[in-house]
A and B are shown apart, each in its own frame.
Chain A
Amino acid sequence: MQLEEPRALQVDESEQLDESTRRDTMTINMGPQHPSTHGVLRLVLTLDGETILKAQPDIGYLHTGIEKTAEGKSYFKSLVVTDRMDYLAPLCNNLGYSLAVEKLLGIDVPEKARFARVALAELQRIASHLVWLGSSALDLGAQSVFLYCFRERELILDIFEACSGVRMMTSYIMPGGLQADLPPNFEQLVRGFIKIFPKRLREYHDLLTNNRLWIDRTRGICLLPAEKAIALGCSGPTLRGSGVAYDVRKVFPYSGYERFAFDVPVGANGDVYDRYLVRMLEMRESLKIIQQAMDGMPEGRWQVDDPKIVAPHKYEVSSNMEALIHHFKLYTEGYRPPAGEVYVRTESPKGELGFYMVSDGSAKPYRMHVRAPSFANLQALPLMIEGYLISDVVAAIGSIDIVLGEVDR
């Protein structure tokens, strides 16, 4: 298939100089309440007809003060607010936070917890990409893809509900391991999912990847060159779609990722279609990782065996005095990591999610800063949509896959 010319219109310099041929530009406001902005994002667009001349994002409509809230709660309690930042992938946020706190404490989790964390994080990645696919396809007109994606997502949420009782904000991955042991039907549920998902993924490919309408809406649209992406601090599929092979799971592996065999899809052109394909292929790679994690899952403890960090089991608390005291101290005060600071990066479905935690030796984090991937990726949006049409803005926002909860925190 012939690759068409990019549709960016060239602004002719000579036309603008003469007063009589001055173009009238229009400044319009898109959002914050808008079905396609994927949350409360406001864009102030300067248009010439339908062509974007300049775009200025206005964020902060979901600012929740999560970083300041975490400064007032103990390390265990702050886990709960980390779910609510990137609300499409709460387990990935929990994982990043738990790894940071564990690094501060200087502890390791048992093997079973590591494997389970990997399996859950990859399931969460698939769930997040399904919401991305459903909503960006819906924005570009493919309504049935939305329903199919949410049908598969319900299966993943069933797995999370079996583990923790909660569909979305599970807080299941905590510093020290998992909140509770994996349920007895975990293996059956996950293997059942692995069995049916490849066929469903092929269904999505059949619907979109070679679809003439989809290609027209996404090929050659909103290009992001690799040097600009690097200079702006983009990460994740936004950066990999432009050809830069940077995946935190490969470069700075955590939680045992170095033991899993998987590929990292990288795009060529940096347009919307490449970013779409990168995420679709990532879902397939995640399935591979989950398969390997389930095959290699050891038996054993799911939490660190240290009562000063993780509360002892309830039957011990009711019979053993030390266990009771540990339980009391943990839930009233909490553990005190030694003073210091760490920065732990993980690969969330949106990009490089970093947790910078500063401890001053007390039971509460002195500073928790979250390096949100969508915050940096959104800086690339004005550059991406300059010169394209207003209907391409919708495709661009969908392709960056922003989550305003983590942009605004």
Chain B
Amino acid sequence: MGIDDQKTSERVNPWAPVQYVSNTQTPRLPRNIEPADGGNILLTSVNKLIDWGRSNSLWPATFGLACCAIEMMSASASRWDISRFGAEVFRASPRQADLMIVAGRLSVKMAPVLRHIYDQMPDPKWVIAMGACASCGGVFNNYAIIQGVDKVVPVDVYVPGCPPTPEMLLHGLNLLQEKIRQRIPTPPDPLKVTGVTYIGSED
């Protein structure tokens, strides 16, 4: 179908992504799903309201490890204002945060600490793996770097890049907000699947 055959109004946006959520995630629930508590109109609206509130006030825990942390700081600065999305309150204490942006490469010595901080966050919590090193080990495929933080914590959104520009991080944040609103569940906990416990992080 040639490009001249379509009228301008019918033309599909060529830049729209083919799919929003990767196939390695849990199966996507269809939109407008009936909630598990049986379709009570009042509860549905309340749930929608709660999801809207949660997605628009994500409080990140500061977990900047390396270079991506600087781009995360740029995302919270004035040009790419993360505060537009309600997420400018970077909590130093994980007990007060509900989003963990793992920004940077995770080394072997740091992995138990990451899990410890994740365990200290109260439910509901989400994780964004920011950068190539957090997503899959990135440039470094060696003895010192864990090849992807999803071996340690369950990750909801992966933001590729080395480092991702602040716009990409904000796009990832927007995807997470949509994911929260659509009630797509978090992937299973990798430590439960593999049965590993980290020395020093047992609660």
Return chain A residues, CB-CB under 8 Å to B74.
150, 153-154, 157
| Majority secondary structure, B binding face | loop
Please tell me if the beta carbons of B142 and A62 are within 8 angstroms of each other in the complex: no
Of the candidates A33, A68, A134, which one forms a contact with B62 in the assembled complex, judged by CB atoms under 8 Å apart? A33
Given A87-B66, A87-B70, the answer on whether A80 and B139 have CB atoms closer than 8 Å is yes
In the complex formed, the residue of A with least CB distance to B143 is A65
In the complex formed, the residue of B with least CB distance to A80 is B139
In the complex formed, the residue of B with least CB distance to A147 is B78
Of the candidates A62, A167, A168, which one forms a contact with B107 in the assembled complex, judged by CB atoms under 8 Å apart? A62
Inter-chain CA distance A275–B1, complex, in Å, is: 66
- Does B65 count as interface, using CB distance less than 8 angstroms? yes
CB distance from B100 to the nearest CB of A (A): 10
Return chain A residues, CB-CB under 8 Å to B92.
34-35
- Residues B69-118 near A (CB distance < 8 A): 69-71, 73-74, 77-79, 90, 92, 94, 104-105, 107-110, 113, 117
- Does A119 count as interface, using CB distance less than 8 angstroms? no
CB distance from B94 to the nearest CB of A (A): 8
Please tell me if the beta carbons of B113 and A32 are within 8 angstroms of each other in the complex: yes
Please tell me if the beta carbons of A405 and B62 are within 8 angstroms of each other in the complex: no
Return chain B residues, CB-CB under 8 Å to A60.
107, 109
Please tell me if the beta carbons of A32 and B110 are within 8 angstroms of each other in the complex: yes
Given A68-B142, A146-B77, A150-B77, the answer on whether A168 and B66 have CB atoms closer than 8 Å is no
In the complex formed, the residue of B with least CB distance to A153 is B74
Please tell me if the beta carbons of A62 and B78 are within 8 angstroms of each other in the complex: no
- Does B126 count as interface, using CB distance less than 8 angstroms? no
CB distance from A221 to the nearest CB of B (A): 22
In the complex formed, the residue of A with least CB distance to B63 is A33
CB distance from B85 to the nearest CB of A (A): 17
Inter-chain CA distance A405–B73, complex, in Å, is: 16
CB distance from B90 to the nearest CB of A (A): 8
Return chain B residues, CB-CB under 8 Å to A134.
73
Of the candidates A33, A61, A146, A151, which one forms a contact with B109 in the assembled complex, judged by CB atoms under 8 Å apart? A61
CB distance from B101 to the nearest CB of A (A): 12
CB distance from A105 to the nearest CB of B (A): 24
Of the candidates A33, A131, A146, A147, which one forms a contact with B70 in the assembled complex, judged by CB atoms under 8 Å apart? A131
Return chain A residues, CB-CB under 8 Å to B139.
69, 80-81, 84
Please tell me if the beta carbons of A62 and B110 are within 8 angstroms of each other in the complex: yes
Inter-chain CA distance A34–B104, complex, in Å, is: 15
- Does A363 count as interface, using CB distance less than 8 angstroms? no
- Does B162 count as interface, using CB distance less than 8 angstroms? yes
- Does A40 count as interface, using CB distance less than 8 angstroms? yes
| Residue among A61, A80, A81, A146 facing the most chain B CB atoms (10 A cut-off) | A61
Of the candidates A80, A151, A167, A404, which one forms a contact with B165 in the assembled complex, judged by CB atoms under 8 Å apart? A167
Other A-B contacts than A62-B65, A150-B79, 6 sampled, CB-CB below 8 A, are: A32-B113, A33-B94, A35-B92, A60-B109, A61-B113, A64-B144
* Interface set of B (CB-CB < 8 Å, partner A): 62-67, 69-71, 73-74, 77-79, 90, 92, 94, 104-105, 107-110, 113, 117, 139-140, 142-145, 162-163, 165
Instruction: Supply 10 A–B pairs (Cβ within 8 Å), ascending by A.
Output: A32-B110, A33-B94, A35-B90, A40-B110, A61-B109, A62-B65, A63-B109, A68-B142, A147-B78, A153-B74
